Amino acid sequence: MKTRITELFGIQHPIIQGGMHYVGFAELAAAVSNAGGLGIITGLTQKTPELLANEIRRCREMTDKPFGVNLTFLPTVSSPDYPGYIKAIIDGGVKAVETAGNNPVKWLPVLKENGIKVIHKCTSVRHSLKAEAIGCDAVSVDGFECGGHPGEDDVPNFILLPRAAEELKIPFVASGGMADGRSLVAALALGAEGMNMGTRFIATKEAPVHENVKQAIVAASELDTRLVMRPLRNTERVLRNAAVDRLIEKEKTLGANIKFEDIIQEVAGVYPKIMTEGTMDAGAWSCGMVAGLIHDIPTVKELVDRIMAEADTIIRQRLARFNAG
Ligand SMILES: Cc1cc2nc3c(=O)[nH]c(=O)nc-3n(C[C@H](O)[C@H](O)[C@H](O)COP(=O)(O)O)c2cc1C
């Protein structure tokens, strides 16, 4: 399938694997790229630029296809060494960067000078237009359904994607709630040039996370995620568990007076405990509503091939049938 996104990144299928903390290691990124999509290493999961450089090297050993790196710009007190991470990306010959969080304008010139294509993840049309204006090559439009940070506007993809299509000139992919061939065809119908998946890629054989995480996603329904940290204007969609119930109780009790310190136990440093050790109640971890559509743990290649075959059947048979009628 050829779209503006496959052309932009030099990939076979219009499928991107979004950056995921403690999930987006070289193994997953390489598997997605080898299957014809765009795999993404999560930059900040690597604690130093040197470790990111090493992760890029490891990924390069596992695939000769294009892959990218996610750079998440968070409003943290002590800023990570972004110039160091960007140097590792450039020196590592990576040609695609997924930015997320704050406006990436400060870092665009150096990325572009080095021939790197930038796709910025946005949860609103407003921010997507800003990304276009500052020179991003593409946008990943992340609807309210998404795992992770859906922003504060709560606009689901059935509205957000066609609104983005009305306004944007640069290509965009649909992100949030994407799982299968139906998602891809729907995304294309709504104006996107492909799709970005997070949660779906965790439940694959190659995802380098504890088996408990994969089983939790398969067991979950579309009703099992919760929004947390809204009072802090840092809303995150997570899978419900004991820690999340406790966090929500604190939010109810403390109301507008809540501070990050009040919930630190439920959110800080929990990813290694969950993703690596499989301690599922250790804290709040991002998961999309799309868990309700995830029923198995295939290899990445099986998943991508199935998506493309299903998309093809829907377009050629189901949709063509309506057209003929
Ligand atoms: C466990 C997990 C961790 C994530 N970590 C990040 C991250 O560090 N940076 C980022 O930009 N997005 C992160 N995301 C968001 C994904 O890249 C993607 O935008 C999102 O998962 C799409 O929604 P979906 O889960 O419905 O597919 C994360 C998502 C999950 C599920």
Atom of ligand 1 at shortest range from CA of 100: 11
**Cβ pair 69, 98 in contact under 8 A:** yes
* Ligand 1 binding residues, C-beta < 6 A: 18-21, 23, 42, 70, 72, 100, 121, 142, 145-148, 175-178, 196-200, 285-288, 290
Q: How far apart are CA 117 and CA 221, in angstroms?
A: 36
**What is the pTM (predicted TM-score) of this model?**
0.98
Express each pLDDT in 200-240 by its tens digit.
999 999 999 999 999 999 999 999 999 999 999 999 999 99
Mean of pLDDT values over 149-163 = 98
The closest alpha carbon to 191, from 225, 210, 168, belongs to 168
- Reduced to 3 states (helix: H, G, I; strand: E, B; else coil), residue 93 is coil
How many residues are listed for the chain in this entry? 325
Question: pLDDT at position 78, please?
Answer: 77
Express each pLDDT in 46-95 by its tens digit.
999 999 999 999 999 999 999 999 999 987 667 899 999 999 999 999 99
Question: pLDDT at position 77, please?
Answer: 64
Go through 183-213 and write b for each residue having 16 or more CB atoms within 10 A of its CB, e for each that does not. Answer: bbbbbbebbbbbbbbbbbbbbbebbebbeeb
Question: pLDDT at position 134, please?
Answer: 98
For residue 259, the CA-to-ligand 1 centroid distance in Å is 24
- Ranges assigned E (strand) in 172-242: 172-175, 195-197, 225-228, 236-239
**Stronger pLDDT, 76 or 288, i.e. the higher one:** 288
Mean of pLDDT values over 12-40 = 98
Question: pLDDT at position 11, please?
Answer: 98
For residue 57, the CA-to-ligand 1 centroid distance in Å is 23
